[in-house]
Amino acid sequence: MIEIEPITGLKSDDGRCALIAGPCSAESEQQVIQCARMLSGMGIGTLRAGIWKPRTRPGGYEGPGRPGLEWLRKARQLTGMRIMTEVANAAHVEAALEAGIDMVWIGARTTVSPFAVQEIADSLAGTGIPVFVKNPINADIDLWTGAFERLSRAGIRRLAAIHRGFSSYGETVYRYAPQWEIPIELRRRIPQLPIFCDPSHMAGRTGLIQPLAQTAMNLNADGLFVEVHPDPSCALSDRNQQLTPDEFGQLVRSLSQRRETSEYDRESLKPLRDELDSVDKELIGLLARRFGIAREIGSYKQLHNLAVLQPDRYNAVMENIIREAVQMGIDGKCISNIFENIHSESIRWQLETINRK
């Protein structure tokens, strides 16, 4: 059981979703302060900036290290903003705590390592500092959950997640694919945990940020975590995905926020939800029947010494199903995903039937 305490002061008074913004990397005192002044002028309360930058390949800008913490402190002093940076090991935690950083985040390349997460959890124990945990770079919900469990066992209660997308092999539209079903599953597992969306790392380029941020709003994200740089064309890291403060302002104004669900909404939705529940029940009944038939087929194949997997038949079934579904207005990819799962379960049933005999 993971106990969550709210992180106060993140949401603005007008009820807008929480916004955290700032440069990918702290690059100079002047850049950090300029960025903080512009963001604070727009009413943004929390400044993010990387002090230690995990680079996938060596040779890139690795951040200013310790001296950069002073720039953040100065930005806080001048603007009243809260300051936040990434920590990846105990030494970073120690330096960040010593500098009085308000909140920290664990990066995507760190969440993948249980050793690193444990080291951070141990060094944060007893501090009460809010900790944001980015999703691991690979689409592994258990690693993400495990990081919260480790922090929770170290007594850290003020926790939040940052959904920043997942890596995939080869060229894709997004730098890191959103895979929205993963933060949705995280919400199911840890319902009280605030989930922020980082559309900057998902997008990889500024043009894709707005629709991602809007999707996050539609899915009830608790906040946005966005890279903003006073002059992105000169940024020392993640140049293509950083917004100017002006562009960030436009983004925020463009987002339509969803309001809280009221008792009235719940009442209005009840008949439809009841109908949905009864359709789900029917679906389960149908699936049970389908698996029963698959088992009978398994018995036949066993008796007559046939292979379980019959690729021609499988391809024909899939083609027919997709055609039929598309005619009924269902997305072909969605239906093929569902039927791949159903089919592999049928195969498992058949193998079980055969092995038992």
Instruction: Quote the CA–CA distance of 215 and 221 in Å, as a whole number.
Output: 9
- Our CB check for Mn ion shows the closer of 27 and 238 to be 238
Is 26 within 8 Å of 51 (Cβ atoms)?
yes
Which of 19, 21, 24, 213 is in the footprint of Mn ion by CB under 5 A? 24
Considering the complex, what minimum distance in angstroms separates the CB of residue 24 from ligand PEP? 5
Q: What SS3 state is found at 29?
A: helix
Q: Rule CB under 6 A: say whether 35 interacts with ligand PEP.
A: no
Q: Rule CB under 6 A: say whether 24 interacts with ligand PEP.
A: yes
Considering the complex, what minimum distance in angstroms separates the CB of residue 53 from ligand PEP? 6
Which of 76, 82, 150, 164 is in the footprint of ligand PEP by CB under 6 A? 164
Instruction: Quote the CA–CA distance of 168 and 184 in Å, as a whole number.
Output: 19
- Our CB check for ligand PEP shows the closer of 109 and 157 to be 109
- Our CB check for ligand PEP shows the closer of 28 and 268 to be 28
- Our CB check for ligand PEP shows the closer of 45 and 298 to be 45
> Which single residue brings its beta carbon nearest to Mn ion?
24
Is 22 within 8 Å of 49 (Cβ atoms)?
yes
Give the chain's largest Cα–Cα span. Answer: 81
Cα-Cα end-to-end distance for the chain? 43
Query: How many CB atoms sit inside 10 A of residue 311's CB?
Result: 8
At 70, which helix (H) or strand (E)? Answer: helix 67-79
Which of 108, 190, 213, 252 is in the footprint of ligand PEP by CB under 6 A? 108
Considering the complex, what minimum distance in angstroms separates the CB of residue 107 from ligand PEP? 3
Is 182 within 8 Å of 146 (Cβ atoms)?
no
Which of 31, 36, 238, 249 is in the footprint of Mn ion by CB under 5 A? 238
- Our CB check for ligand PEP shows the closer of 50 and 298 to be 50
* Residues ≥6 apart with Cβ < 8 Å to 236: 25, 27, 61
Q: Rule CB under 6 A: say whether 107 interacts with ligand PEP.
A: yes
Considering the complex, what minimum distance in angstroms separates the CB of residue 55 from ligand PEP? 9
Tell me the site size for ligand PEP, rule CB under 6 A: 9
Residue ranges with strand state E in the chain: 18-22, 46-48, 82-86, 103-106, 131-134, 159-163, 195-197, 223-227
Q: Rule CB under 6 A: say whether 134 interacts with ligand PEP.
A: yes
Considering the complex, what minimum distance in angstroms separates the CB of residue 330 from ligand PEP? 34
Distances in Å between the Cα of 77 and the Cα atoms of 9, 67, 80, 194 are 17, 16, 6, 27
The CB-side HSE value for 273 (13 A sphere, CA atoms) comes to 6
Q: Rule CB under 6 A: say whether 201 interacts with ligand PEP.
A: yes
- Our CB check for ligand PEP shows the closer of 121 and 133 to be 133
- Our CB check for ligand PEP shows the closer of 222 and 238 to be 238
Q: Rule CB under 5 A: say whether 198 interacts with Mn ion.
A: no
Residue ranges that bind Mn ion, judged by CB under 5 A:
24, 238
Residue ranges that bind ligand PEP, judged by CB under 6 A:
24, 50, 54, 107-109, 134, 164, 201
